[in-house]
Chains A and B, each alone.
Chain A
Amino acid sequence: MAETVLSISHLTKRFDAQTILEDLSLDVREGEVVVIVGSSGCGKSTLLRCINALENIQGGEIRLRNEPVIHGGKNLPELRQKIGMVFQNYELFPHLTVLDNILLAPMKAQKRSRQEVREEALALLERVGLKEKADSWPRQLSGGQKQRVAIVRALIMHPEILLFDEVTAALDPEMVREVLDVIVNLADQGKTMLIVTHEMTFARAVADRIILLEDRQILEESDPETFFTAPKTEQAKKFLQTFEFNRKNKAGA
């Protein structure tokens, strides 16, 4: 079995008196694509934010390749270089060109030479179909283009794991596809990924494992076929029903 990249054990996260995640454990192995689904506000995004210590946690432990990830920890910048994160609203830096957005972290955090990363950046941009946008400003790009740049910005750090936080939720429908195609492509290349999404067809296609997060915990965990065709729990059935529509008086229904 492949090595464990990310290991979350007994994670508890509270905001003041409200408990968001409770005693949650999850392992992600190398090359695995894990998709997290669940109703809005169930803590999916918070879970991702805990993994790279953007949130402090109230209990449990998160380890990346066996190294503890600690909010405010001393080696946190080094650890975060190994955890790529793509946000819902892209969060490109508006004062930098597309290329400089991508080059900033490898040059400043990893001290790599501009020449070397520039070549890699252009190659990656080409792969997501945006090579000619290298010198554009973020404001000149569409949402889908921005999100693809954000993915390249995360990829160029050569992370051990990629976290995707509802990366198509802010996009117009016609742009969802171009972004999801890139992610499917990364899955085919064997990247380790943890994906939060509301796109069920995408989840089914890309996932090695689907996790339903509900009531602060992992409620159901299975391969995508089982999850979508034969969900075990009542909550999973209910959740999946929210994506189906039926007209009672329609002929043939």
Chain B
Amino acid sequence: MPDLGLEVLWKGKNFARLLGGLWVALRISLIAAGISIVLGILLGIAASRKRSAASVILRIWLGIIHIMPQMVLLFLMFFGTTRAFGWNLDGETAAIIVFTLWGTAEMADLVRGAVSSIPVIQRESAEALGLRPAQVYRHIILPQAVRRLIPQSINLITRMIKTTSLVTLIGVVEILKVAQQIIEANRKASPNAAFGVYLTIFVMYYLACRPLSLAAKKLEKHWR
């Protein structure tokens, strides 16, 4: 069996450090995802009304987010705001803001699409029963929209988790940065550590994202 350089994991606190790095990555993405879901639902519902101000705002916002690489947004938020406004954001806060800007836009678009995909006559038949518009939303439109939303929003959250690997570029020490530090420190003693450490990261990302996909599958099955 070739030397995979796995032994570095057991040196000192390396494994715990990797887990710590994973936690930083998850913390950024999950906080951002949580805020994005709340804001995205609100904005998405507002934007599901055709020709509303919210739908115009969302379209422009999405246009910008889609064109801009996340890395540019991160640099803009971290370095740009310091120069322009004198803000002194730490890397993690800047990352959460950028991920929230991205997540909210995409989430709102998913919600808008899901709400619009519910046939108008479903709303009409609920209104015909004498339910108020807010009740129609609460009991008819949203429950059906949420069911259609689950797969894509889980996909969005896992993409957010994966994209946290970029935040190392604004100085946040997350799992990838920790990995590079470990590999650098053991260059002489375990020259093959790169393989073992990155393989470990691969497994860790998988284990972090897998429960989300499983939960999504379960919900989809439950609601079918």
Contact = CB atoms under 8 A, between A and B. Distances in A.
B128 interface: yes
A154 B126 CA distance: 11
A105 interface: yes
A231 to B, nearest CB: 33
Interface stretch (B108-116, B135-143, B207-215): B135-143
Nearest to B127: A80
Contacts of B124: 54, 91
A108 B127 CA distance: 12
Contacts of B144: 93-95
A95 B130 CA distance: 19
Given A91-B121, A94-B144, A109-B135, A77 B130 contact: yes
B147 interface: yes
* Residue of B124, B128, B129, B131 most packed against chain A (CB within 10 A): B129
A78 interface: yes
Contact of B131 (A79, A94, A95, A109): A109
B122 A93 contact: yes
Contacts of B131: 77, 104-105, 108-109
B135 A108 contact: yes
Interface residues of B, number: 18
B140 A109 contact: no
B130 A78 contact: yes
Interface string B139-164: 11001100100000000000000000
Interface in A149-181: 153-154, 157
A79 B130 CA distance: 7
Contact of B126 (A78, A82, A93): A93
Given A78-B130, A81-B130, A104-B131, 11 more contacts: A54-B124, A77-B132, A82-B130, A87-B121, A87-B125, A91-B124, A104-B129, A108-B139, A109-B129, A109-B132, A157-B129
B85 interface: no
B147 A85 contact: no
Contact of A109 (B130, B143, B147): B130
Interface of B: 121-122, 124-132, 135, 139-140, 143-144, 147, 223
B81 to A, nearest CB: 44
Contacts of A77: 127, 130-132
Contacts of B147: 95
Contacts of A91: 121-122, 124-125
Contacts of B140: 93
Interface in A79-114: 79-83, 85, 87, 89, 91, 93-95, 104-105, 108-110
12 contacts: A54-B124, A80-B128, A82-B130, A85-B128, A87-B121, A89-B121, A91-B122, A91-B125, A93-B126, A95-B147, A105-B129, A109-B131
Given A95-B147, A104-B139, A109-B135, A157 B130 contact: yes
A-B interface, 7 closest residue pairs, ranked by CB to CB distance from nearest: A81-B130, A91-B125, A105-B129, A85-B128, A80-B130, A109-B130, A77-B130
* Residue of A89, A93, A110, A153 most packed against chain B (CB within 10 A): A93
Given A94-B144, A95-B143, A81 B121 contact: no
Contact of A153 (B121, B129, B132, B223): B129
Contacts of A93: 122, 126, 140, 144
Contacts of A154: 129
* Residue of B125, B147, B223 most packed against chain A (CB within 10 A): B125
Contacts of A82: 130
Contacts of A105: 126, 129-131
A82 B135 CA distance: 18
A217 interface: no
Contacts of B139: 104, 108
Contacts of B126: 93, 105
Contacts of B130: 77-82, 105, 109-110, 157
Contacts of B125: 85, 87, 91
A12 interface: no
A67 B122 CA distance: 26
